[in-house]
Structure 1
Amino acid sequence: MQRTFRFYRVNSNILLQRNLSDKTKSQTKQSSVVVDAWGQHVTLRHVQDPMFDSLRRWTKALNYHEAPSVPSTIAALDEAGVDRMLISAWYAPNNIMISNEEVFNFVSQSNGRLVGVGSVDISRPQLVMREIRRCIEKYGFKAIRVLPWLFQVPPTDRRFYPVYTACCELNVPFCTQIGHTGPLMPSEVGRPIYLDQVALDFPDLTIVGGHIGYPWTEEAIAVATKHPNVYIDTSAYTIRRYPRVLIEYMRDTGRKKVLFGSNYPMINPVKALEDLDTLGLDESTRALFLSQNAVRVFRL
């Protein structure tokens, strides 16, 4: 009897996972394409960095003992019915956690399923323009991402301005994190209102603020509403945790302003898409959220 009980529990867990995956796929099938606007294909030196110890309190997804394969990331996309994911390099001060070259290698192995996003070390301004040009012209990346909390300065800091200039010149979006940080680093630099000044100084710059801006989501919505080239992505949050004000914005004036994102591997796309139907989006708004906004913004 004991063996039978164990067999039943294991198989019921497998069936539960399959049912959740099938449910998520059925929720997303109304959109012909699903694009995940924020993900990473991690390296061990990135995912094992002590700065992420605080995140490991919340999830076991970051407990890697060997580098993941590109097929494993593609399998996570397939499980959720996601067509493409934008994956980013990670550059911190004097610390390359995922290099642009590595991202290019991962993208090259993915048969078009992964889309590259470059990064730079803003503490080395003499290299910024050259590296961004290489990312766009040599590697074919679709955006540049720099995280203010890694450098502990806001996006209005003068060291960011060569990045904005290069993105404008090369006509690619600038992506960043807005809201508080999971790692134990100061969150103030993630206030969405800083992007208001950036958008005023660079009106032609497309800006995508990831992680919804919580606990300043209303501030993020205000900036996105004010500036035609400012957008929000929902990465790092499951749908159950979307603030009500964001959902209302998505249903109304923000239909073309919000992009789906997961923050894989912190959250698997299948988990990030659970409860999609509870948003109450009509078919056209759902398609904008899941793919069309990202396709337009990143020129996919």
Structure 2
Amino acid sequence: MTPYDGIPIVDTHIGFREAGYDEYAFITRQTKDRESRDEFSMPAQYMFTGVPDLATDDPISVTLHEMDKHGIEIGMVSMAKESGQRAVRAFPDRFVPQGSAVDPNDIMGTLNRMTREYEEFGIRSVSSFAAGTFPQVALNAPQMYPIYAKCVELDIPIFACAGIAGPRVKSSVQHVELIDDVMFDFPDLVFVTRHGCEPWEELAVKLMLKWPNLYYSTSAFAPKHYPKAIVDYANTRGADKIIYAGYFPAGLTLDRIFTDMPHVPFKDEVWPKFLHENARRVLKLKG
């Protein structure tokens, strides 16, 4: 028995590992240390043990098998790769489309792509990795503002990495305090943080208290490492603000995540909100 038995799960950060596809080239081209460039299979490998090695010619079946094994009903996947597009078309009841990562160095290209993916796939969100842009563009930089405006126009959230970046690149462009500017200028924007917000997770809580449309997702963290400030917030005033996200197959196996998960000290009433209700509301999913 687990504290969440019978509760459906929506995973807002899941994907596929395609054979022959270098999904991290955009990061390694801007790293400078030898390990990142020549040894790591993923740019933040030093942070993770047991990174899944699941490159295959049938990545959708692999991911579906893992989802079924752990009770994940729906996974949000990127439209940047052919496998994501194929998954959404073949299994629309299991996969939710997320737009390709935004590129504020190509504003018009990004806006056109957002429109195209919205019309073709019905994307429910887009993603941002500020520290991975090249050259880097901060979360509150002018280049990001047309992208935020487009999100508001399309009525979709942005899921944005915040906090110290895992790859060995500079992180100042992801400082959590920058989100305050964004929420002030775009009060109708739904903004969901990714990858922890550390070491500024307490600041993230303060900002979530301040801004109604600011949320936090738990991507890239094994549950045993969920920040205490986030768990405490979920158990008090923030039950509606914390959203489950995994990191499969990028850095964590679902076996690892769901071995840890029962030990997270969420209150009983928090589990359904955390595991699916908040995601369904933010992504406008039925159920």
Where on the TM-score scale, by shorter chain, does this alignment land: which range? 0.7 to 0.9
Structure with larger RCO (C-alpha < 8 A, sep 6+): 2
- Structure 1 counterpart of 2:199, one-letter code: P
* Counterparts of residues 1-300 of structure 1 (less than 5 Å): 26-31=2-7, 33-43=8-18, 44-47=20-23, 49=25, 51=28, 53=40, 54-57=43-46, 58-89=48-79, 98-99=80-81, 102-119=83-100, 120-151=102-133, 152-265=136-249, 266-300=251-285
Structure 2's unaligned 5+ residue stretches are 29-35
Residue-by-residue CA offset, 1:76-98 (whole Å, 9 max, x unaligned): 11121111111124xxxxxxxx4
CA contact (8 A) 2:131 2:171 kept: yes
Distance 1:280 1:48, change over 3 A: closer
Taking structure 1 as the reference length, the TM-score comes to 0.82
Structure number with higher helix proportion: 1
Residue-by-residue CA offset, 1:227-283 (whole Å, 9 max, x unaligned): 000000011111111121111111001100000111211112332233333333233
Residue-by-residue CA offset, 1:153-197 (whole Å, 9 max, x unaligned): 211111111111111001000111112222111122221111111
- Structure 1 counterpart of 2:217, one-letter code: D
CA contact (8 A) 1:28 1:34 kept: no
Bigger Cα displacement from structure 2, 271-280 vs 171-180: 271-280
Q: Quick one: distance in 2 between partners of 1:239 and 1:212?
A: 11
Q: Quick one: distance in 2 between partners of 1:284 and 1:27?
A: 10
User: Which of 1 and 2 has greater Rg?
Assistant: 1
CA contact (8 A) 2:51 2:252 kept: yes
SS of residue paired to 2:209: helix
SS of residue paired to 1:138: helix
Bigger Cα displacement from structure 2, 257-266 vs 113-122: 113-122
Structure 1's unaligned 5+ residue stretches are 1-22, 90-97
Bigger Cα displacement from structure 2, 137-146 vs 253-262: 137-146
Distance 1:123 1:68, change over 3 A: farther
**TM-fit CA distance, 1:42:** 3.5
Q: Quick one: distance in 2 between partners of 1:115 and 1:255?
A: 23
**TM-fit CA distance, 1:291:** 0.5
Q: Quick one: distance in 2 between partners of 1:283 and 1:179?
A: 29
The aligned counterpart of 2:32 is: none
**TM-fit CA distance, 1:56:** 3.3
CA contact (8 A) 1:48 1:64 kept: no
Q: Quick one: distance in 2 between partners of 1:122 and 1:246?
A: 29
CA contact (8 A) 1:135 1:141 kept: yes
- Structure 2 counterpart of 1:232, one-letter code: Y
**TM-fit CA distance, 1:34:** 0.5
Q: CA RMSD in A?
A: 2.1
Bigger Cα displacement from structure 2, 38-47 vs 163-172: 38-47
Q: Quick one: distance in 2 between partners of 1:180 and 1:232?
A: 15
Taking structure 2 as the reference length, the TM-score comes to 0.85
Corresponding residue pairs, total: 266
SS of residue paired to 1:85: strand
The aligned counterpart of 1:94 is: none
